[in-house]
Amino acid sequence: MNKILKPLSITAIASLVATSLVACSPAGAQDITLQVGDQIAGTEKILTAAGELDDLPYDITWSTFTSGPPQIEALNAGQIDFAITGNTPPIVGGLTDTKVISAYSNEAKGDAILIPQGSDIKSVADLKGKSVAVARGSSAHGHLTLQLEKAGVDPGDLDINFLQPSDSKSAFESGQVDAWAVWDPYTAIAEVGGAVPLITAEGVSNGYGFGVASDKALADDPRAEAIDDLLGRIDRAYQWTKDNPEEWAKIFAEETGTEKAAAEINARSTRLPIALDQTVIDSQNDLIGAFERAGVLPESFDFADQVDVPFED
């Protein structure tokens, strides 16, 4: 059986429910306040850096979460209207009262399984009998699942510790776990601190990210129009980070207190918008199948049933 480490701090728990009441209130704003979920150095920081939060015709209240799965839970509960997540959160809970409405992609170099320097782990197969920290239902969980299947390792042969990133970091650095499956910017920060990537998700996991909205928000026409506008701003902001990597790295480092070297490495995980097409759906269905075979999902479903593209021209 997989074991779960006791939380090493209350940081993850606190940040899971913490809400940043940073609202944008431009002149001429409509009577709409979007509730938007975010993660560390995520959507809000990118939009701000790119100037895309200037002169909004609506307000935004940002809620900060430690990973994607709690965002999906908050969307499903109607606590937030929209969030950007990785590839795994929209599927790990099965079909919910949410819809995937936009897609993004990178090369997945920032999703990695990390080991300490000097570790005797040399391959994914060597993880058998070892302890690994990962956030349940995160893109890193999906990556770990795919790598284990590829290497022919049963997940039940590992001690998988389901911990949010801050607690995973503490467990990894203190030697309480042998490996850590995580994503950027945590990967970049850990690498600068001396952690070694055993393997990255490049070529194994699809590197997708998704914009997810609650069914309730999409059914409210003014709110849906605001989400549509926000999607355009996100597209432009992602392109800005791609076109201005040095400036983005500087802002990222200043805003997060991250070392400059880690901020520069984090640029590898810049996402760009892609079509939410059958190729994306098929790739996500492959991930759903891997989770079903690993016993994470009780039954398979078609990712297309979770997709809606209401704002296409």
Closest-CA residue to 60 (of 219, 220, 209, 229): 229
Looking at the domain 11-106+207-306, which fold is it? Answer: D-Maltodextrin-Binding Protein; domain 2 (3.40.190)
Domain boundaries, the chain: 11-106+207-306, 112-200
CATH entry 3.40.190.10 includes domain 112-200: yes
Check whether 164 has a pLDDT greater than 90. Answer: yes
CA distance 156 to 2: 7
Alpha-helix runs per DSSP H in the chain: 11-17, 43-49, 68-76, 89-92, 139-151, 165-173, 186-192, 215-219, 221-243, 245-256, 260-266, 278-293
- Provide the token pair at 74: 């908050």
Q: For residue range 297-308, list pLDDT tens digits in order.
A: 888 899 999 999
Mean pLDDT of 113-121: 97
The predicted pLDDT at position 165 comes to: 94
Query: What confidence score (pLDDT) does residue 31 get?
Result: 87
Query: Contact at 8 Å (CB) between 46 and 238?
Result: yes
Kindly report, residue by residue over 26-71, the tens digit of the pLDDT.
333 368 999 999 998 789 999 999 999 998 999 999 999 999 999 9
pLDDT confidence bin for 12, thresholds 50/70/90: very low
Whole-Å CA distances, 174 to 2, 112, 169: 20, 19, 8
* Domain 11-106+207-306 matches domain 112-200 at the CATH topology level: yes
For 71-103, the pLDDT digits (tens) are 999 999 999 999 999 999 999 888 899 999 999
pLDDT for the residue numbered 255: 83
**Which tens digits make up the pLDDT trace of 217-251?**
999 999 999 999 999 999 999 999 999 999 999 99
Question: Do 226 and 168 form a contact (C-beta atoms < 8 A)?
Answer: no
What percent of the chain is modeled with pLDDT above 90?
82
As a 3-state breakdown, the chain gives helix, strand, coil percent values, each rounded to 5, of: 40, 20, 40
Rg of the chain (C-alpha set): 19
Angle at which helices 245-256 and 221-243 pack, to 10 degrees?
110
For residue 233, give both structure tokens. Answer: 């701003």
Q: What is the pTM for the complete model shown?
A: 0.87
